[in-house]
Structure 1
C-alpha cells in the first residue's frame, strides 16, 4: 500500500490525531535524547577536510584587513562568522563556530577541521544561537572554497549550484552525487550512475518540526522515523559496515532532534489582535497546518502542486531513477521513499516567527509578503546578520532592500551572495496565495497570532 493511502487511513481512524506531537513511537526516552545531544554537539564523525591552519589563513582571501587569528582569536572568530554567515556555538567547540569542528584521524593520523550537520542546521536570531534552527545567513560555497584555497589546494569542479544566495543550500544534489557513486550494496563505483535528478537550492527547515511530523523533507516522501536517511552525507567516506556501526548513535541524535522546541517570540504581542487572528487562522489555515496549544493536532498534509502553486523544481527534480536506486540500498530497508510524487508537505508552524524567509526555497522575506503575494519582491537583498536590528516585528521576518536590476558582473561574489533573485532555477516566489483573499486587517491579526506559536 502506498504511504499516501496509509496516512489517509490513519487519519480516518484518528490515530494521527492522538497527540499534539505526532509520533509512531512511544514516549521519548530522556536518556536517548541526552545521549543524542552529547553525540551531536561533542563529536565529529568525518575525517578532517582541511588543515588546522586553513581556518586562520582564510582571512587572507577576503581582500581587506582581516584581524590576525594568531593575535586576536576572538576578533578573528567574529569576522569569520560575519564573512561566511556562521554563528557562535552554544556548546563547547574550541572557539570554532557552530558547524565547524576539529577532527582527527584514528591511529594518531593528521588532525584538522571539518564541517558537521550544524553548518546548515545551526542558526541564530537576536544574538542567540540555536541548534536546529536553519542557518539563514550561511554562504556555504564561499566557506568551502575559501578553506580549500587557504589550504593551498585546487578547487574541485562545480557539478551544480551549491547556493547562489546566502541562506539557501543544495543538500539534495550533494546526496544525489554521493549516492550515484554507490551500488545498491553501497560499494563504491568507478563511474557514477546517471540518476537524472536535478534539484535546486532550498531554505533549511528547523529541526523542531520533526517531532510533529509523520513524513519528512519538503516533499513528504520519507518516513519521519527514518534514522538512516539523515546519514546519507556520510557516503562521502563511510562504508556500509561503518554506517551500521554509527546507526545507534544517530538513532539517539534523531531522538534529540525530535525533542527540540522553538524559542518564544521575544517581543510584545497584542493579545486582542492575536485572539482575532486565531479565528482567521481557524477558518483559513488549520486544514493544512494544524492546531496549536496543549491539544494541538497536526494533519501531516502533503499538498498537490496544482493546489499549492509554489515553485515545482524541488518536487519535479527528484527523479524516479534516483528514488528507485535509493530504495534498493540499506538506507531504505526499513523505510523506503514513497514512489508517488504529490507536492509539498505543509509544515507545522511552531516558532514560525524565527524561521524567515518563507516558502520551501526561502523566496519570501516576511509573513506579510507571504500573505499578500502582490508585495513579494522579485529580487531583494538579505540583511547582513540575524541581529534584531534587522528584524521586522510588524511584517514578521527579515527587513530587506528591493533590488530592481540584476547584480553587476563587477560586484564581488561575497556581496552578490546577499542578493536573492527569484528568477533563478527553483527560487520562484509564486504560489501559496491563500492570504490574498483576506483583508489587510485580517492579515495583520493573523500575523499577530502566528507570533504566539
Structure 2
C-alpha cells in the first residue's frame, strides 16, 4: 500500500495531470471521538477559575445567588446561562463539560460547542446546541479577565471585530470560516495579508451530525465536498502553521468517521401509532421529493439531496449571499479540496433539503433556527415573531421547543430572545410554504409521523 505520509506529500504539492487518485484510508470513529474530546486544537478560551467568577458580570439577583453558592452550583449556573452541557452518562472520556477540552492551561473549544446539545434535559453528542450563548460567554469572560488581570485570548479579541452570534443557540459560524479560510494560501501556508472580501454577518443553527452519513456534500447550500480536510476549517487560526494543519490529517479522518457513526435519537415519548400511519401517507404524497423516504430497513430508504432554489424555498437568503462565488472558488483551489479533485459548487442557488431523521430533536427549525416547532414549519401563522425557549421543556403537541412568545426584546440579556424581525442578521422566519394545502387533520397526522423518523 502507498504510505500515507507520501500520499500527503503528493496532495500537498497538488495532483499532476493524469495522476491516479489514491483511495482514502478508513477512519476510526472511536479515536475520532477521543480527538474531539481530548485533543486541544485551539488555544484555551478561559480557565475554571474564570468560569467560577463569571457571576460577577450577571444581574444583581443572579450575582448575589452565585456569590452565595458553592463551586458545583456556580458551575451549574454558568452552564445554564451559556448553554454548556455535561457529557452524557457513562461517557468514555468523562470530565465536566462536553463542549470544551479540559487542559491544565484552560478550557479549549471543540466541535461539540455547537454540535453537542441537549433536548428535554438529555445531552446528545451530535445534536445542535440550541442553548449555546457564545457571544454572551465571550463578552463576560473578557470582562472577568480584565477585572482579574488575566491575559485576553484569541476569542476575547476576535469577538471585538467579528460578532459571534446575536441570539443564544445560533452563531456567526459561516463568517468565522470565511475569515479563517482567507488567511490561507492553497497549500495551507498562512498569509494574513489576504483580505476575506465582503462579510455579511448572520446567525446559523448548526445541523445535526447524524445527517452527514446520508449526504455527499457539506453545509446547507451543499457547496463543499464532504471530506475530512474541510472539517478542519474552524481550527485554522493563523497560529497553526501549514505543517501543523497537515499533521491533523489522520485526526480529522477519524473525526469524520465518528460523525458518520452518530445515530439519530429515537423519540422518547408516546406516539399515536394509528395517527402516525395516516401521517406517513401524507408525508409520502407531499414531502418525499425533497426529503426522501424512510423505512425500518435502511436499504429501503432514499434521500435525493435536492438543492431547492432560493426563490422556491423562500427561507432567509442571507446565508446564501454571505458566501460569494470567489469565497467558494477559493476552496476549490486548496489542499482542503485536494486542489479541486473534490469539486466545489461555486453558485448553488439555494438550500439543500435536509434528511429528517431525528427531526423531533433538532428544533429550532430552518437553517437559521428561527422556528421553534414543527407545527410552525407546517403553518406559518404559528411562527412566533419574538420568542424565548425554556431550558429543558419539550412541546410534544407542536413537536419542538417549549417556548414563550414575548412582546419585546429586553434591554438586558437580549440574546435569550430570538428576534425574527432582524433581516440584517439573517433571522427571518418566512418561507417553506409547502404545507399550505394540507388540512388541519393532515398536519396533525404528519406531525405524529415525523416523531417516528
Give the structure-1-normalised TM-score: 0.85
| Secondary structure of 1:82's aligned partner | helix
> What is residue 40 of structure 1 aligned with on the other side?
36
Residue 27 (structure 1) shift: 13
Is the 2:38–2:102 contact (alpha carbons within 8 Å) kept by the matching residues of 1? no
Offset of residue 35 of structure 1: 1.8
Find the counterpart in structure 2 of residue 222 from structure 1: 224
Residue 241 of structure 1 pairs with residue 243 of structure 2: yes
The separation in 2 between residues aligned to 1:141 and 1:72, in whole angstroms, is 26
TM-score normalised over the length of structure 2: 0.85
Equivalent residue runs for 1:427-446 within 5 Å:
427-446=427-446
How do 1:5-404 and structure 2 match up within 5 A?
Answer: 32-63=28-59, 64-67=63-66, 72-90=70-88, 91=91, 95-103=95-103, 111-152=105-146, 153=151, 155-156=156-157, 158-224=160-226, 226-236=227-237, 237-293=239-295, 294=297, 295-333=300-338, 334-383=341-390, 385=391, 387=392, 390-404=393-407
Distance 1:241 1:103 in 2: 23
- Structure 2: how far apart are the matches of 1:66 and 1:252? 43
How far apart are the structure 1 equivalents of 2:398 and 2:47? 44
The alpha-carbon deviation at position 354 of structure 1 amounts to 0.4
Change (3 A) 1:77 1:95: farther
Q: More displaced, 33-42 or 202-211?
A: 33-42
Could you tell me how far apart the structure 2 residues matched to 1:61 and 1:339 are?
44
Say whether the 8 Å CA contact 2:228–2:253 is kept in structure 1.
yes
Of 315-324 and 432-441, more deviation after overlay is shown by 315-324
Q: CA deviation at 1:68?
A: 5.7
Structure 1: gaps spanning 5 or more residues? 1-25, 105-110
Deviation at 1:169, TM superposition (A): 1.0
How far apart, in 1, do the equivalents of 2:348 and 2:200 lie?
Answer: 15
1:48-80 CA-to-partner distances (Å, cap 9, x unmatched) read 2334422222222224124469x7332122111
CA shift for structure 1 position 174: 0.8
Is the Cα–Cα contact under 8 Å of residues 37 and 100 in structure 2 kept in the other structure? Answer: no
- Please give the secondary structure, in 2, of the residue aligned with 1:130: strand
Instruction: Tell me if the contact between 2:184 and 2:191 (Cα under 8 Å) persists in the aligned partners.
Output: yes
Report the CA distance between 1:448 and its aligned residue: 0.2
Deviation at 1:340? 2.5
1:190 shift after superposition: 4.4
Cα distance between partner residues in 1 of 2:395 and 2:176 = 33
When residues 84 and 92 of structure 1 are mapped into structure 2, their CA distance, relative to the original with a 3 A threshold, is farther
8 Å contact kept, 1:84–1:143? yes
RMSD: 2.3
Change (3 A) 1:66 1:243: farther
On the 8 A contact 2:225/2:337 being kept in 1, the answer is: no
1:190 to 1:340, Cα distance in 2 relative to 1, 3 A: closer
Query: Displacement, 1:331?
Result: 1.4
Q: Which residue of 2 aligns with 1:20?
A: none
Q: Which residue of 1 aligns with 2:11?
A: none
Single out whichever of 432-441 and 328-337 deviates more from structure 2: 328-337
SS in 2 for 1:430: coil
Runs of 4+ aligned residues of structure 1 deviating over 4 Å after TM superposition are: 26-29, 92-95
Q: Is contact 1:215–1:222 with CA below 8 Å preserved after alignment?
A: yes
Q: Is the 8 A contact 1:161 1:201 kept in 2?
A: no
Q: Deviation digits for residues 255-294 of structure 1, max 9, x if unmatched?
A: 1101111111111100110000000000000000001121
**Residue pair 1:302, 1:343 contacting (<8 A) in 2 also:** yes
The whole-number CA distance in structure 2 between the counterparts of 1:377 and 1:358 is: 12
Structure-2 residue corresponding to 1:9: none
Provide the C-alpha distance between the structure 2 equivalents of 1:268 and 1:79, rounded to a whole number of angstroms.
32
Q: Determine if contact 2:325/2:347 at 8 Å carries over to the other structure.
A: no
- Which stretch shifts more, 239-248 or 433-442? 239-248
1:417 aligns with 2:435: no
Unaligned ranges ≥5, structure 2: 1-22
| 1:146 positional shift | 1.9
Check the 8 A contact 2:223/2:328 in 1, yes or no.
Answer: no
How many residues are matched? 411
SS at match of 1:210: helix
Between 1:418-427 and 1:152-161, the stretch displaced more is: 152-161
Q: Do 1:363 and 1:420's aligned partners in 2 also have CA atoms closer than 8 Å? A: yes
Matched position secondary structure for 2:28: helix
1:171 CA displacement: 0.8
Q: Secondary structure at the match of 1:145?
A: helix
Structure 2 match to 1:15: none
